[in-house]
Structure 1
């Protein structure tokens, strides 16, 4: 008897008409429910399983359309929180909210579209669709994180951010590698239902189970068998002033905003490091000696204030602006500084300004210029700090200075632009994944939330929620030894993919060898 791998519900037929459109869009939207703040993990497995089923047996042009629709379903609801930022100055930019979201989603959907087309093309060449889809998806996610300045928001691995045992694998292979394993496992389950023979169905289910057990087993072992990261002697205070974006740079609110920061910072209690959010100071703090001396009076003898503040430098041709974090000593001097190197397009600068006829969405004196890259700051007797300002924390492998490893990561941010939407929650999930990848504790100071202290395993130890005012007082968690991902970066994900293909090649070779032996 001849068995065929064909199935009456092929991917192409599933895509025919409105029902097919709905299936692809719904599968992409299901992925959003698996991401924080919802974190309903089964939806991620279903989304990629359905995607694999739809791609089965389809030519690459159809697969491209499937992937594009999946991407629209993923990015439109997943990024809809961006509309909040256009309402801060609604009279100027409110009309752009929906076009911006749909336009960005339409652009980003190209990446899953190419991933699916590549997977279908490889499968038509006789390679396994599950591995092809996982490889294509991971490769295109990596490109999405690098092409045109990059936007690695809501990576597949972030569906595991709130499932800490499963997220620990990121310490070995990073978020891109963890996403590869998630897609591979889900695709194997989906394609098991399409298997033409019982034996192949069992193999696919067994392979998916082996991946899941390995990931979970490693995570549980890492969390339970390793020594927990104890606290350092360093006492930190995180300040969350909860100043609305509309009032942040309002001249009439300037005095009240400063008094709020000072009142929170001066609450009873001792600390070694005082942490303020991104652009917390409403002016150029580095130029204001009187203000720095006043701030120094707040600090205990050896304490340091890490404060977000814009900076400017007047050159012979122009005035240069930077988004910075300054380390202020008790005598008011600036010990060191960090300038944000990964700027937000159209928020902090306009790319290709001479070509694109656009204005920035944030009103200020001019475009910001990037700093030199990740840096480790040393200030006094305190633990070395790696700094990531706002948007920078979403980039795997580009947060920590490779030359000098810090003891912790400080993420200063201002998510006031996004109100009480899901955006700040997704942002925090990205930050927590950086802690797991690097094996470093992370402290987050946000203007309106979410401020948090996260240990080196990605567990949130303390938190101030959205649109609340307050402080976090606690000791800084200790760091772990450098993880495999901290040493290899995204090369570890590549090794994982090559190793997976190597296992498949060995299995095929072994199968052929056994078959030849049985025929002799």
Structure 2
């Protein structure tokens, strides 16, 4: 049947006549879609880029071409989104600099494989018909779920994160950031369906739903967040230690003294109830320098202090968050359990050490050992209970749900100096904002080089220190909202819906009649 849409909608068919055309178009559309990620924040670009990608999929005649299309789109998308991944390799250029371009290529290409599989699955399940957009959203939802879980997962930069500064972000309280990614794929495909004048009513209905979600979400986002029963003032310390200098002998004392001075500064308003230092901010091992620990506790007094520190237990090392008591002893501590592969530990580290390949944060190639898992900190009143996170643990919402109870707030210690000075820290902050919305809890993050921030239960940043600035931030801890639907159920309902949709298409595909047309 000839194409009945406007002339410009026949562009995908022209592109498909040469494989390099679809590769180039896919890369360009992926880059366009990535402009929705921080720090750009252009969410319309994400929708348009993915709509164009769906159009390319519609012109792919075979599974192999569909997979190539999806991989090309993913390569462009993750190539720009994850461009910060080269920064850790530039900290010690002599040892790791040569890996930087390979890291970006392999990381973006590896993440793109999941999108290639998603496009191929969408083509196989729903090659044409009025419900092709639904098959596309379900297939890409399955691909994104796999990307976030396979080999410990890396759920960074999903399309749903582009909505962080819009009313649609409030939907994460029901479906999570993952659900927003699925809805973004759905809306983008529906947009192309309407523009191409194919099955217009369905496409317009989905777009109307999106518009309603933006309005309703915006209204929810403007709703008041309750105050805490008792006021709490937090002091976030941001020493701003560049990673290439952080462990240099001549600089360790400089950054420690800076953090101590910020800790002991007089408050302009109410005195803080808790002082929070970032990840690995204490330059000694836990228990090795009791005088230093006592100094930190004394500088924070009468408040208590939380700080990032390294800990040894036998031959095992841990990346640890510690709550110091009044004497500087470890009252409670939490060991990071979601470790960064090739960063905090090396798979087959002892073998690769023989080739001179070491983990970026490891001294001898072995890195840290994982802690036992999610936990809660019981803090002195009126601080309540806090759910501790260290660095990129904040990108795994399932880990927050694994905690042994509901906390009053979330605290994250991080060293975003590893992520550079541009997109990485901003994207990490966006993830933190979504965790606050998903769980209806205030989220507090102390970052070595920024962005240190206090985030309320609707994901709004109420106070922050900018990137690459040394300073302290005294700010009140916002109150919590009731448990959200997502906090109670996580990704299970949406995952079940995706399985049902994929199963429906798979069963319908066995019939000789086109499954999408038969279903319609």
Q: Same fold (TM over 0.5)?
A: yes
- Corresponding position of 1:511: none
Q: Which segment is superposed worse, 321-330 or 85-94?
A: 85-94
- Corresponding position of 1:347: 343
The structural deviation recorded for 1:430 is 0.8
The structural deviation recorded for 1:496 is 5.2
CA distance in 1, matches of 2:400, 2:288: 28
Contact 2:135 2:505 in 1 (8 A): no
- Corresponding position of 1:513: none
CA distance in 1, matches of 2:375, 2:183: 31
SS at match of 1:52: helix
CA distance in 2, matches of 1:45, 1:104: 23
CA distance in 2, matches of 1:127, 1:376: 49
Distance 1:400 1:380, change over 3 A: farther
Tell me whether 1:191 sits opposite 2:193 in the alignment. Answer: yes
Equivalent residue runs for 1:211-250 within 5 Å: 212-224=210-222, 226-231=223-228, 232-250=230-248
Contact 2:239 2:449 in 1 (8 A): yes
- Corresponding position of 1:377: 377
Tell me whether 1:117 sits opposite 2:114 in the alignment. Answer: no
Distance 1:167 1:362, change over 3 A: same
- Corresponding position of 1:41: 43
Equivalent residue runs for 1:2-17 within 5 Å: 9=10, 11=12, 13-17=14-18
- Corresponding position of 1:431: 432
Aligned pair count reads 495
- Name the TM-score, length of structure 2 as normaliser: 0.90
The structural deviation recorded for 1:271 is 0.8
CA distance in 2, matches of 1:500, 1:117: 16
The structural deviation recorded for 1:500 is 7.4
The structural deviation recorded for 1:13 is 4.0
CA distance in 2, matches of 1:123, 1:500: 11
CA distance in 2, matches of 1:264, 1:16: 63
Equivalent residue runs for 1:116-515 within 5 Å: 116-124=119-127, 128-163=131-166, 165-196=167-198, 200-210=199-209, 212-224=210-222, 226-231=223-228, 232-269=230-267, 270-301=271-302, 303-314=303-314, 319-353=315-349, 358-365=357-364, 366-381=366-381, 382-495=383-496, 497=498
CA distance in 1, matches of 2:136, 2:300: 54
The structural deviation recorded for 1:35 is 1.0
The structural deviation recorded for 1:263 is 0.2
- 1:14-58, Cα deviation, whole Å (9 max, x unpaired): 233343322111110011111111111110110111111111153
Distance 1:501 1:107, change over 3 A: closer
SS at match of 1:309: strand
Distance 1:333 1:400, change over 3 A: farther
The structural deviation recorded for 1:426 is 0.8
Distance 1:496 1:460, change over 3 A: farther
Tell me whether 1:99 sits opposite 2:102 in the alignment. Answer: yes
- 1:227-252, Cα deviation, whole Å (9 max, x unpaired): 42325511100000011112211122
- 1:196-236, Cα deviation, whole Å (9 max, x unpaired): 4xxx21331232212x1342233133224x44232551110
Which consecutive residues of structure 2, in runs of 5 or more, have no partner in the other structure? 507-520
Q: Which segment is superposed worse, 212-221 or 83-92?
A: 212-221
Contact 1:115 1:136 in 2 (8 A): yes
Contact 2:376 2:403 in 1 (8 A): no
CA distance in 2, matches of 1:122, 1:109: 20
- Corresponding position of 2:66: 63
Q: Which segment is superposed worse, 56-65 or 256-265?
A: 56-65
CA distance in 2, matches of 1:437, 1:458: 9
CA distance in 1, matches of 2:371, 2:151: 18
Q: Which segment is superposed worse, 243-252 or 321-330?
A: 243-252
- Name the TM-score, length of structure 1 as normaliser: 0.90
Tell me whether 1:76 sits opposite 2:79 in the alignment. Answer: yes
CA distance in 1, matches of 2:113, 2:51: 20
The structural deviation recorded for 1:192 is 1.9
CA distance in 2, matches of 1:426, 1:83: 15
CA distance in 1, matches of 2:2, 2:75: 36
SS at match of 2:412: strand
The structural deviation recorded for 1:294 is 1.7
SS at match of 1:237: strand
The structural deviation recorded for 1:298 is 1.6
CA distance in 2, matches of 1:185, 1:354: 48
